[in-house]
Every structure is written in structure tokens, then in C-alpha cells.
């Protein structure tokens, strides 16, 4: 290198010998000895809980974190989503968490030695939220599975990736999952749910858990034939409606919550609500997942 090591402003600043030594060093270093693991979070859709809990989980595991910001990235120069993700992987982070509006086909991303984690892909799945929610229930019930538990999921089930992952995982853990949603939000596929109802009046009041979900208006093309007020009137969880269920019935909501739409605000502060436990447990579960996937 030139005598002033603090500047590299032009290729002219390296002598021929320095240039070849530098290339040799690049080849022999590779990506280093992985003493310090690196997580990249790339969220192309809004997030509060998922991104920050992954980042806190990584810091707690002594990893370094790099947060991708799409607004200041080459996407503003026209680079497309798959190409952007492929480039982030090519830089060799130990793990990459991605949230985006389409389902990702790992085959199109090219070979990578990085662990790829789904932070929510469109309407498809949100697997770490389901792990978090099921862990929260197992922790509360002090059990290893959910057999014999009855779970009622209410809301925009068709468009909720949280619901899709949860129906699969809760069922696998032995729960009976029943869905309650108005016409435009009904699930048209079989993910293992054991039933579907269309009104609170038809609920099994012996249910152990009620999970409320947000209406995913940003995913719905065209006008939704149901206002927030109409949804709350027919499907919103109120203390009054909750009073019809057994006293030990717990309430989950993956967030973000719209009070006065999915639920009355007082519900969130009811001792039966596990909504903040879900957020706290999100860090624990993501720590365990990173630890497992990187070991």
C-alpha cells in the first residue's frame, strides 16, 4: 500500500506489488473463520415485532446484525426483489431473514451457504410467528403439546400468513383448530383445521384459546365489502363476547392490533390475554431457532 495507509482514493494509490498482495490476501482470507456470526434482516414490508425480535435475538447470541433498508438500496435504481435478495445472499451472511410480499422460491436465488429464514412471505406463511404463538401456549399450559386444546381463530384467515402457519403447527401439536370469519375472509384450503363457523353464536364456549387477526387490507385487491365497523360488530372480541367463554380461555393476537376492529382495547389488558407474552417469547424462540440453524 502507499505510505499513507488512511487513504484509498484511486487505483493509482496501489503499486503493482501491493495490488497482487491484496488479491492474494482476499483469496486466502475467504469469509474468515466465522468467529463472529452475521445476521442480515431484509424487510420489504413493514414490521415492528418480527424484525426487532430477530435483531435482539441475534445480539443476545453475540451475533452482528446488518439491517437492509430497501428505500436507500439499489431497488430505488430499479433492481428487482429476487435479484436484491440473491445479492444479499451472495455476500455470505450466516443468516438472512427476509419478509416480502411474494412467496420465495429458493431455487431462483442461486446457491448460497447462508441460512435463509422466512420472516413472512405474502399471504403464504409466517413460520416464526407460529413457533412463537405455540411456544407461548405450551409455556402457559405447562405442557409439551396441545392435545385436547380447542383453539378458535377469528378474522381475515384467507389473507393471514400467521393463521396459515399456526393452523398447520397447532394442529400438528394436537390442537383442534376452528376458524371464525366472515365470507370474504374464509380459508378455501385445508390446512388441517377441524371446523369452520360463521358466527360467535355457533362457537364452542369450552374453547381454550381465542386468536384474533387483523384484516390484511393491503393484500386485498379492490374494495372489501366489509367496513371495520361491520367487522367489529359481527366478529370483534368484546368483554361481553368473551364472557360467554370459560374463565380460563386465553387470548392471542400476533399484532399489529387495531383496537375497536379485532378486539375491544380492554381485552388486551385482561389477565387472560397473552399478547405481550407472545412478543417476549418471540425473542426466545428466534434465539433458539438461530442457535439451532447455525449450529
Q: Which residues bind ligand NCD (CB under 6 A)?
A: 49-50, 120, 126, 129, 161-162, 214, 216, 254-256
Strand locations in 83-208 (E): 95-100, 115-121, 150-154, 176-180, 195-197
- Strands 95-100, 38-43: pairing is parallel
Enclosing H/E stretch for 101:
none
* Helical pair 127-141 and 275-294, crossing angle rounded to 10 deg: 120
Four-point Cα dihedral 107, 111, 116, 121, nearest 10: -30
**Cell numbers for 163:** 393463521
Q: For ligand NCD, which is the closer residue by CB, 174 or 260?
A: 260
Q: For ligand NCD, which is the closer residue by CB, 242 or 275?
A: 275
Q: What angle do CA 213, 292, 287 make, to 5 degrees?
A: 50
Q: For ligand NCD, which is the closer residue by CB, 121 or 264?
A: 121
Q: For ligand NCD, which is the closer residue by CB, 93 or 119?
A: 119
Find the shortest distance in angstroms from Cβ 96 to ligand NCD: 17
Find the shortest distance in angstroms from Cβ 133 to ligand NCD: 9
Q: For ligand NCD, which is the closer residue by CB, 129 or 176?
A: 129
Report the C-alpha gap between 97 and 52 in whole angstroms. 11
Find the shortest distance in angstroms from Cβ 257 to ligand NCD: 9
Three-state SS for 213? coil
List the strands of the sheet with 176-180, edge to edge.
195-197, 176-180, 150-154, 209-212, 250-252
Q: For ligand NCD, which is the closer residue by CB, 93 or 120?
A: 120
Q: Of the candidates 275, 228, 232, which has an alpha carbon nearest to the alpha carbon of residue 255?
A: 275
Find the shortest distance in angstroms from Cβ 33 to ligand NCD: 34
Find the shortest distance in angstroms from Cβ 276 to ligand NCD: 13
**Cell numbers for 2:** 502507499
Q: For cell 378455501, what's the residue?
A: 188
Q: For ligand NCD, which is the closer residue by CB, 65 or 213?
A: 213
**Residue facing ligand NCD at closest CB distance:** 214
Find the shortest distance in angstroms from Cβ 124 to ligand NCD: 10
Find the shortest distance in angstroms from Cβ 173 to ligand NCD: 19
Amino acid at each position: 500500500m502507499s505510505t499513507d495507509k488512511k487513504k484509498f482514493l484511486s487505483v493509482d494509490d496501489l503499486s503493482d506489488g501491493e495490488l497482487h498482495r491484496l488479491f492474494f490476501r482476499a483469496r486466502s482470507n475467504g469469509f474468515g473463520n466465522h468467529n463472529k456470526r452475521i445476521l442480515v434482516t431484509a424487510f420489504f414490508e413493514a414490521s415492528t415485532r418480527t424484525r426487532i425480535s430477530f435483531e435482539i435475538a441475534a445480539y443476545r447470541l453475540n451475533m452482528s446484525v446488518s439491517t437492509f433498508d430497501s428505500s436507500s438500496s439499489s431497488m430505488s435504481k430499479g433492481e428487482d426483489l429476487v435479484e436484491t435478495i440473491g445479492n444479499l445472499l451472495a455476500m455470505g451472511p450466516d443468516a438472512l431473514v427476509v419478509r416480502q410480499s411474494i412467496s420465495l422460491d429458493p431455487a431462483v436465488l442461486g446457491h448460497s451457504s447462508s441460512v435463509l429464514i422466512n420472516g413472512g412471505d405474502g399471504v403464504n406463511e409466517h413460520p416464526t410467528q407460529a413457533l412463537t404463538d405455540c411456544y407461548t401456549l405450551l409455556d402457559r399450559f405447562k405442557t409439551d403439546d396441545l392435545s385436547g386444546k380447542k383453539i378458535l381463530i377469528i378474522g381475515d384467515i384467507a389473507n393471514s400468513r400467521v393463521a396459515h402457519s399456526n393452523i398447520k403447527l397447532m394442529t400438528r401439536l394436537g390442537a383442534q383448530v376452528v376458524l371464525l370469519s366472515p365470507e370474504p375472509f374464509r380459508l378455501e384450503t385445508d390446512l388441517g383445521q377441524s371446523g369452520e363457523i360463521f358466527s360467535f353464536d355457533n362457537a364452542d364456549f369450552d374453547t381454550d384459546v381465542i386468536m384474533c387477526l387483523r384484516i390484511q387490507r393491503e393484500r386485498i385487491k379492490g374494495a372489501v365489502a366489509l367496513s371495520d365497523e361491520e367487522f367489529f360488530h359481527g366478529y370483534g372480541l368484546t368483554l361481553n363476547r368473551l364472557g360467554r367463554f370459560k374463565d380460563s380461555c386465553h387470548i392471542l393476537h400476533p399484532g399489529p392490533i387495531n383496537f375497536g376492529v379485532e378486539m375491544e382495547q380492554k381485552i388486551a389488558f385482561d389477565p387472560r390475554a397473552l399478547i405481550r407474552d407472545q412478543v417476549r417469547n418471540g425473542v426466545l424462540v428466534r434465539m433458539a431457532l438461530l442457535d439451532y440453524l447455525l449450529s
